[in-house]
Structure 1
């Protein structure tokens, strides 16, 4: 799994934050809050993300509407899986990641682990 470039990541965050499919114009407006960026630059990068399979689109009138093909959580999971595959001690990496979590998220993780153990026992 390839990591996004800086602009790709900013565009994907804007798409993920939207509740409905977005136009290039919508994404550019969201990005304009932090940087001056040309419409054509956003359009080109969104087309690249479409060709890479991260975005899908449908024509509506004269403009395309774009939406993400995977959730932000799915993308982050892929990055973590890739990092774990490269680690000689996966448990140590996971332990360090867990140590950085807020306590309420650690509790949620405990519950997920218990559920996983329960499901494992059923199979």
Structure 2
């Protein structure tokens, strides 16, 4: 299997979200394909749009025999949501959750580690008295 021209994981989803975020109207698969350019197959773009819709990142409406797509909310928030879902799936797929989380935290930059600690502290619920 050749990896020539392979995209990093999630890159096409991010490109599609960015394309739809700047569009001034809902786009069809063909319109997204034209905006993205390159040598993408129609079915590749269609599958990517369908997956983003199933993740809740896009709103889909039927227009004749085709669908049009728009970003479901703030594009940055949607991108973060898609990334978070991917992280959860990877964590759930691993056998050693503690090991995975330990290595993840150990690889964080200091500022990201501080942010994570602050987020965890903010979500802690005090015990009822």
Pick aligned residue for 2:102 from 95, 100, 103: 95
**3-state secondary structure, aligned to 1:95:** helix
More helix by share: 1
Pick aligned residue for 1:121 from 108, 119, 126: 126
**3-state secondary structure, aligned to 2:40:** coil
Provide the residue aligned with 1:107 in structure 2: 114
Write the mapping of 1:5-20 to structure 2, written as runs, cut at 5 A: 9-17=10-18, 18-20=20-22
Aligned length: 111
Report the CA distance between 1:112 and its aligned residue: 0.5
CA–CA separation in structure 2 for the residues paired with 1:95 and 1:109: 13
Q: Which has the higher contact order (CA 8 A, sep 6+)?
A: 1
| Segment of structure 1 superposing worse, 18-27 or 78-87 | 18-27
TM-score normalised by length of structure 1: 0.59
Q: Mind listing any 5+ residue stretches in structure 1 that lack a counterpart?
A: 1-5
Provide the residue aligned with 1:83 in structure 2: 90
TM-score normalised by length of structure 2: 0.57
CA RMSD of superposed structures (Å): 3.7
Q: Mind listing any 5+ residue stretches in structure 2 that lack a counterpart?
A: 1-6
After superposition, the C-alpha distances for 1:74-114 in whole angstroms (9 at most, x for unaligned) are 23323332333344432221121122222222111111011
